[in-house]
Amino acid sequence: MQQKQENTGLVWFRNNLRVNDNVSLKKAIENHKRVIAVFYFNPKHFKKEIFGFKKTEKFRAQFLIETVKNLQKNLQKLNITLLTFYDAPQNHLNKICKEFNIDTIYSQKEWTKEEVETNKLIQQSFSNKIYFIEDYDQFLYNPETVSNDFNNIPNVFTSFRKKLEKSVKVKSETTPTPLPKENLIENQTSIPHLKDLGFHNFEIHPKSAFKFSGGEDAALNRLNNYFFETKKVNFYKKTRNGLVGTDYSTKFSPWLANGSLSAKTIYWKIKEFEAEFGANQSTYWVVFELIWRDYFKYISLKYDNRIFKIGGILEKNYTWNSDENLIENWINGTTKDDFVNANMIELKETGWMSNRGRQNVASYLTKELLIDWRIGAAYFESLLIDYDVHSNYGNWMYVAGVGNDPRDRKFNTQLEAKRYDANYKFRKIWLEKTLF
């Protein structure tokens, strides 16, 4: 058995805000006699970006605050203290490492440009030698078991999926072991309020399709409810293109996005459900969607910063425009298309939009209005509770014709509305004004 180190281990939480199935946390506990944890609310995440949108708007900010509060509570049960700061990590980590005699930082491995730049700045800030141990912990299929060379990742999803399903197994979940109570330290830090991040308090819209709280506990409750209490998972493939209500889809994506729920936890919960009640197309389709999520992460690993370029991974030289009036109409739901408008108003009012809605409004912006797709991607990043950099940019490239869609489809929003909102129920919710 490995001897635990005397120095304190630090778990730097990023988009892995959970205690269950968290490799970084498990390694820190196994390797060190003392462990502390830290999370940074980075000020730059709440400021305006290149296209004029705040990187994180109030919906995702509130969900994040709830998530970190829940993480702090669950770490407390493991006798680990979570320190929280409203600061950039590169300004502060060196100080923490000195104060608590830390020689090793455990973190989820990130590879997109902003996170890589942050890592470089952190390394430059250290006066002593600090070891970084980073793990890919946001996948269903771990990269170590998938490919030695990401350049070999197929450009067509079906090829990727079939190879994985045939040859790669999903790893088991990890479970953390509590440390002695003596590991807890005095915590004088505080989790910021919405006001501290530049927002006003707000109530969840009464018509929102996503009325859940942030945090691992809420995620696991939703998982149990959707699978075992209501068994709605049995009908997922039939209802997944719905537009109204909480149960047309799993709604797992916001928790997956900030890592308060792992893809492996969902997978093994599906296997548990199938063992008890039987497998069907719907239970498989949840896994199918998790593989799509993985795929966009692998495409990001393969193409690096090309996922943020206007030509996408195909390096297409299309002519885009950035007409401010057209963009404002799209954002505010005042276009000529009522189905697009209803979806965009839902997003603006709730921070949520269905998958079917996202495809339609993205296609309308890029294929009908010919607006630079990156503007749409930036707006989604700002508003969506379930924003995930790889899925967001992967899907926008896909719809805009600069990504992984071999057919370069354009959605007919009028036909889509007739098919998925024939009774006008969804459009009535968001387009019809009421006096009271």
Whole-number Å distance between alpha carbons of 211 and 206: 8
For residue 12, pLDDT over 70 is answered with: yes
For residue 222, the model assigns a pLDDT of 98
Whether residues 255 and 402 share a domain: the answer is no
| 178 located within any domain | no
pLDDT in tens, 138-192: 999 999 999 989 999 999 999 999 999 999 999 999 999 999 999 999 999 999 9
> Nearest to residue 132, comparing CAs of 123, 124, 145?
123
Answer whether 10's CB lies under 8 Å from 105's CB: yes
Whether residues 167 and 98 share a domain: the answer is no
For residue 28, the model assigns a pLDDT of 97
For residue 434, pLDDT over 80 is answered with: no
Whether residues 37 and 130 share a domain: the answer is yes
Residue with tokens 């190879």: 163
For residue 297, the model assigns a pLDDT of 97
Whether residues 323 and 379 share a domain: the answer is yes
Q: Which of 253, 286, 304 is the last residue of a domain?
A: 304
Mean pLDDT of 300-327: 95
Alpha carbon distances (Å) from 416 to 238, 339, 398? 16, 8, 18
pLDDT in tens, 351-388: 999 999 999 999 999 999 999 999 999 999 999 999 99
| 336 located within any domain | yes
For residue 3, the model assigns a pLDDT of 63
Alpha carbon distances (Å) from 236 to 241, 265, 269? 9, 18, 15
pTM of the model: 0.95
Q: What are phi and psi of 48, to 5 degrees?
A: -70, 145
Q: Write the CATH number for 293.
A: 1.25.40.80
Whether residues 427 and 350 share a domain: the answer is yes
Whole-number Å distance between alpha carbons of 40 and 36: 14
pLDDT in tens, 247-296: 999 999 999 999 999 999 999 999 999 999 999 999 999 999 999 999 99
192 secondary structure, DSSP code: P
pLDDT in tens, 386-411: 999 999 999 999 999 999 987 778 99
Residue 91: which pLDDT band, with cuts at 50, 70 and 90?
very high
Whether residues 359 and 261 share a domain: the answer is no
| 423 located within any domain | yes
Whether residues 361 and 254 share a domain: the answer is no
> Nearest to residue 363, comparing CAs of 324, 390, 333, 397?
397
| 379 located within any domain | yes
Whether residues 293 and 149 share a domain: the answer is yes
Q: Write the CATH number for 390.
A: 1.10.579.10
| 51 located within any domain | yes
Range of the structural domain that residue 129 is part of: 7-137
Whether residues 321 and 380 share a domain: the answer is yes
Whether residues 292 and 346 share a domain: the answer is no
For residue 110, the model assigns a pLDDT of 93
For the chain, what is the domain count? Answer: 3
Alpha carbon distances (Å) from 84 to 41, 91, 147, 407? 8, 14, 36, 46
Whether residues 105 and 145 share a domain: the answer is no
Whether residues 146 and 295 share a domain: the answer is yes
Mean pLDDT of 121-146: 90
Whole-number Å distance between alpha carbons of 241 and 186: 49
pLDDT in tens, 204-242: 999 999 999 999 999 999 999 999 999 999 999 999 999
pLDDT in tens, 21-42: 999 999 999 999 999 999 999 9
Residue 1: which pLDDT band, with cuts at 50, 70 and 90?
very low
Answer whether 267's CB lies under 8 Å from 311's CB: no
> What integer best gives the mean pLDDT of the chain?
95
For residue 128, pLDDT over 90 is answered with: no
Residue with tokens 């409004």: 361
Residue with tokens 């998972």: 233
